[in-house]
Structure 1
Amino acid sequence: MARSRFERLLARLLRASVGFLLTLFEMLASRRCARSPGLPAISNPLLLLSGVQLARKIRRKEVTSVEAVQAYIDRIQEVNPLLNAVVKDRFSAALQEAAQVDQLIEEEGGGEEVLEERFPLLGVPFTVKESFALQGMPNSAGLLARRAVISAGDAPPVALLKRAGAIPLGVSNCSELCMWLESHNRVYGSTSNPYDRRRIAGGSSGGEGSILGSGGSVIGVGSDVGGSIRMPAFFNGIFGHKPTTGVVSNEGQFPPASGLQQDFLCTGPMCRYAEDLLPVLSIMAGPNAHKLHLSSEVDLRKLRFFSVPHDGGSLLVSPVEQQLIQAQRKVAERLEADLGVKVQELRVPQLKYSFQIWGALMAAPDRDGKPPKAFAELMADHGRKVWPVWEFVKWMLGLSSHTMAAIGLALAEMVQSSQPSRFILQQKDELQRHLEELLGEDGVLLYPSHPHIAPKHHHPLFTPFNFSYTGIFNILGLPVTQCPVGVSEEGLPLGLQLVAGRLQDRLSLATAVHLERAFGGWREPSTA
């Protein structure tokens, strides 16, 4: 009892200290950062079609691929100077490829069904996170030492989308080495949120989240080792799916995972419309798609639903905002009303240790005893070794080639143990067992995507552990869909995670489609 009171007191002191720092930061920042004007409204109706709908219209010759690709190029050129989301384009090549698609459709004698079977996304434009290899495009992962690296080929998920007929428009920004909550680096700078440019787009797939949320893309490719698909999807009001571990190839991206991290990294789709998630995931999964049984019908009325409103009160993590708790409660009530189900609210005490579990397992060696590559070594990228303390001194003097976030991670790594404690392993095992038994083959769990709506630029430096709401499911290997469920009073996206059992991705995807109809899904930033 005494320990519990001490922990609560310590938590209050920590939160008060963080609150004071954020208030001070706000006072300094407000002098030079007034609220930014909104984005231009979308004027071309082609931009308001899902990828599936757009592909159908292209196959039926109701619109040409050239018209669709040009519409997205125009939108990117309109919004990207305000957002800094797309960092390198291939517009000329994309238009040439679109013209070839239109010619193929004119010459195809097999009809629409044959085209759909062979090329389900024929003529549909998409964007790719810059850390993935896309032929002819940069592949720096925001690392200054790699700014001249150009991809000679395509990462497997990118190649599969191209083989399905989709046309890449360019690559989007990410955090340095894909390991931070904000997409900011010394190669391309910072990416902003389309709903309020004073706020972050998230990380590490923040460029994808921002350009999708702005209406400048309809389908995107992201990666996720701690929430890097789901946090940007949440902050930018779109859908994002972290598949069951091991289903979609992680090859062809930098930095490559090492140690046990190979079991936690996932590649998945980011989409403005929920109906695109399943077909895009099916394409990206390639030869592993059959494991997910994505073509099987899902009867939502026969599913069991659970809701966990927060992690139980971790000392390191911010409390969940009341508006997010209320939004999750409304989702539960709507599911009960629409489907005739009962959403059971639970408390899962092991979630309180989410960050400690994630941090310990990310630093652990693989099954052969080989440790993960040191973050400071990745920062050097085969060059001169980075010394984190000296790099921090250089940063203070404005001389570092790295961001404060990356330096901070390298400093934290110096004191991180490579062997998880017995207590943390016990918490992880209990949590894994509990959730797998709870969800089984017919359960869906509602859980917050983040404790806050989209933070302002650089604020995550004061709350670095808040990503644990997403990161814990990478460790558990469970599929998760981030789903938008309206907007806040400030006009910023609200959302939540839908968690399913291993290989039951179709359950969370089907639930997301239902919630899109119920709550409106993505909202255009100019009208939010």
Structure 2
Amino acid sequence: MIHEWLKQSWPQVKIDLHIVLALTSSTAAAFMAFKWMGQNRIKKQIQEARRKRDHGLGQMEKVVQEFKQQNPGVQAAHVLSLPLAELVEKLKEGSLSPESVLYTYMEKALAVHQEVNCMRHFIPECEQHLQELKKQKERGLLYGVPVSIKDHIAYKGHLSTCGLVQSLGALAEEDSVLVEVLKRQGANPFVITNVPQSLLNYDCSNSIFGQTVNPRDHKRGPGGSSGGEGALIAAGGSILGFGSDLGGSIRLPSSFCGLCGLKPTAGRLSNLGVRGPIDGILTVPGTVGPMARDVESLALCMKALLCDDMFQLDPFVPPVFFNEEVYSSSMPLRIGYYDTDGYFLLPPCMRRAVHETKKLLQEAGHTLVPFTPPSVDYAIDELYIKGLFADGGSTLFAMFERDIVDPCLKPQVAHLRIPKLVRKVLAKFVKPWFPRLASHLNALCGVRSVNCLWELNDKVMAYRKKFVDQWKKSKLDVVLCPVLGPAFNLRYPSNLLAAISYTMLYNLLNFPAGVVPVTTVTEADEEELGQHQGHFGDPWDKRLKEAVKGAVGLPVAVQCVALPWQDELCLRFMKEVEMLSHQRRLEKAM
């Protein structure tokens, strides 16, 4: 019967199959054509964005040359050599003009950009703002200081791209609160700096504006995601810059580039007008913060920002002014310290920096006690990564699907492309020989439901309490610990997300944390790196070794941490570390 039916129906079946095949082929062809058109449109958007940037930089160069012709006597080298506090003093007393400072830094920034590709755009409105500043009767704490800002900190009429092509069409309708307060305090934002695609990476490259490199070694990255800021300030093209920090994005560029950077307690400074690729993540709080060449510049910046204007423009920022008494105190501190978090063993130079700094602090009269942060592996995988990628990374992956993925991000995007079920299967398969990757893959699956997200947030609060209890049990004022470094060779950050456990931890906890450079990589460090096995001897430990090799002479930093809302104490501790390290370098040089 079936045979007879097939015999009778076969001509129609053949027709139907031909139709299906034709439709399938047409659909595939249409899909490929649509994809090609989409990619072509993206490429045109990229070309236009680059053209606009080049035009802006050309405009910047033109006004600099005009100023130099009209003012040939400006001592540029002198202006660039001044620390922020001294520069501010000379601007206020009138021995330096705001014009000479602005155009000097504009010229230097252009030169730096030619070397390291750190600027995303020039802010031509800075010239008009300069004239407005001169008319003001009251001069703010940052009067006449040119400042740089990270890509996603809104400046009216300019883009906040987050390194994504899909964000190239939306201009900011108003200034972020941070920019508005800076202007009211006399500062003058003059350039916007480059970031990695999506911000969620500690390299600094995107498919629109390309790779930013480290000014100290062009074969290495400047860190991220505030990498453009780090490169520009480190090379002298800006005296004060502003980044943001969700997992180390201020502290990592500061470490890689040899700067001082502060991640304040989230909520201490306004985040209004600071957009991310994914807004609304509450499990891990992010914050904006300053980056500069010295700690005193960070403190001056915080004094300026923690003002009535900040509290009125953003009523969610607690009206707590800068506590000068805490910052200026010379009372001995009780300092906890550790050289490894037990999760990721850093290179020998980073651990040496902690021990040398510990010794200096002890000799200066402070009390140093060992401190072991609790359950860091649990905090990073089960709390931080699971909270940041609560949706399994689907929102972020959808953004990359509508973009051209930068080569630096491809390994990271490859993880997001793996279906959740496959991630779980892979995690079970690799666990015996690569347990950290297994935990990482499971964490990237996110949470199953809203109830699970609530439970996760509850676990974060419980972990914070556990950490604080251990801190108080040891009667600590502050903690000294490592920060990731030295600067990585290019293309490594996407393959080593877990290596930033030392910075991610304090985002999860919402503790203020800052970075201070204290030494440089030595030949002995490099030799010891050859024997580095890490805690596990797995591919991540081997990759870290490759990422940092050949770094002799590059900066090495430490991380200084305080309890929430004790930002001034954190800065005071940073200042102490900076001073003692500086004294040691002077003694060695004599």
- TM-score by length of structure 2 reads 0.69
- How many Å separate the matches in 1 of 2:209 and 2:234? 19
Residues 434-488 of structure 1: CA deviation (Å, up to 9, x unaligned): 33551599611011111x3110110123322112210111111111111111222
C-alpha contact 1:259 1:373 (8 A) present in aligned 2: no
1:165 and 1:143 mapped to 2: Cα distance?
A: 31
Sequence identity percentage = 24
Q: State how far apart, in whole Å, the 1-side matches of 2:419 and 2:296 are.
A: 40
Residue pair 2:333, 2:367 contacting (<8 A) in 1 also: no
Tell me if the contact between 1:300 and 1:511 (Cα under 8 Å) persists in the aligned partners. Answer: no
Q: Which residue of 1 aligns with 2:338?
A: 308
1 or 2, which has the higher helix percentage? 2
Q: Indicate the residue corresponding to 2:446 in structure 1.
A: 417
Closer, same or farther in 2 for the Cα pair 1:332/1:410, shift >3 Å? same
Q: Does 1:203 align with 2:232?
A: no
Which residue number corresponds to residue 294 of structure 1?
A: 323
Partner residue in 1 for 2:562: 500
Q: Could you say if the C-alpha distance between residues 353 and 300 of structure 1 is closer, same or farther in structure 2, counting changes exceeding 3 Å?
A: farther
Asked if the contact 1:353–1:427 (Cα under 8 Å) also holds between the matched residues in 2, the reply is: no
- Aligned partner of 1:342 in structure 2 is 367
Tell me which residue corresponds to 1:512: 574
The one of 126, 129, 133 equivalent to 1:94 is 126
2:88 to 51, 55, 60: 55
Question: Which position in structure 1 is the counterpart of 2:348?
Answer: 322
| Cα distance in 1 between the residues matched to 2:480 and 2:183 | 34
User: In the TM superposition, what is the alpha-carbon distance from 1:139 to its structure 2 partner?
Assistant: 1.3
Amino acid at match of 1:508: C
CA displacement at 1:238 relative to structure 2: 0.8
Q: How many residues align?
A: 444
Residue number in structure 1 paired with 2:481: 447
Q: Comparing 130-139 with 233-242, which one deviates more in the overlay?
A: 130-139
Q: Which residue of structure 2 aligns with residue 487 of structure 1?
A: 520
Q: 8 Å contact 2:326–2:569 — kept in the other structure?
A: no
Q: Secondary structure of the equivalent of 2:376?
A: helix
Cα distance between partner residues in 2 of 1:78 and 1:293? 35
How far 1:254 moved relative to its partner? Answer: 2.6
Partners of 2:262 and 2:513 within 8 A in 1: yes
Displacement of 1:337 in angstroms is: 1.2
Match status 1:145 vs 2:166: yes
**2: CA distance, partners of 1:262 / 1:424:** 6
1:359 aligns with 2:378: no
CA contact (8 A) 1:66 1:102 kept: no
Q: Does 1:231 align with 2:252?
A: yes
- Name the SS of the counterpart of 1:332 in structure 2: helix
Question: What amino acid is the match of 2:369?
Answer: Q
Judged with a 3 Å threshold, the aligned counterparts in structure 2 of structure 1 residues 439 and 202 are, in CA distance, closer, same or farther, namely farther
The correspondence for 1:169, drawn from 183, 186, 190, is 190
What amino acid is aligned across from residue 272 of structure 1 in structure 2?
Answer: R
Alignment match, 2:57: none
Distance 1:461 1:97 in 2: 39
CA distance in 2, matches of 1:436, 1:216: 43
Q: Which has the higher contact order (CA 8 A, sep 6+)?
A: 1
Stretches of structure 1 that go unaligned for 5 or more consecutive residues are: 1-41, 109-113, 366-370, 381-385, 524-528
Q: Distance in 1 between matches of 2:254 and 2:466?
A: 28
Alignment of 1:41-440 (within 5 A): 44-90=77-123, 92-102=124-134, 104=136, 108=137, 115=139, 119-255=140-276, 258-261=279-282, 263-285=284-306, 286-287=310-311, 288=317, 290-291=319-320, 293-298=322-327, 299-312=329-342, 314=343, 317=344, 319-338=345-364, 340-356=365-381, 357-364=383-390, 374-377=395-398, 379=399, 386=401, 403-404=409-410, 407-408=413-414, 410-411=416-417, 414=420, 415=423, 416-418=445-447, 419=452, 429-430=462-463, 432-435=465-468, 437-438=470-471
More displaced, 276-285 or 429-438? 429-438
Paired with 1:262 and 1:372, the residues of 2 have a C-alpha distance of 15
Q: 1:85 to 1:353 in 2, by over 3 A?
A: same
Measure, in 2, the Cα distance between the counterparts of 1:332 and 1:427: 30
**1:324 touches 1:495 (CA, 8 Å); kept in 2?**
yes
Deviations 1:46-90 (A, max 9, x none): 222232321111010110011111111111111111111111112
Q: Tell me by how many angstroms 1:149 deviates.
A: 2.9
* TM-score, normalisation: structure 1: 0.77
| Displacement after TM superposition at 1:360 (Å) | 1.8
Contact persistence 2:353–2:556 (CA under 8 A): yes
Q: CA deviation at 1:223?
A: 0.9
Contact 1:259 1:364 in 2 (8 A): no
Contact 1:354 1:471 in 2 (8 A): no
Residue aligned with 2:160, SS: coil
Report the CA distance shift for 1:423/1:58 in structure 2 as closer, same or farther (over 3 A): closer
Letter in structure 2 aligned against 1:331: T
Q: Residue by residue, what CA displacement relative to the aligned partner does 1:224-283 show, whole Å, maximum 9, x if unpaired?
A: 111111111111111111111222222212326545436511111112221121232244
Q: CA contact under 8 A between 1:134 and 1:158: conserved in structure 2? A: yes
- Does the 8 A contact of 1:198 with 1:456 survive in 2? yes
CA contact (8 A) 1:120 1:165 kept: yes
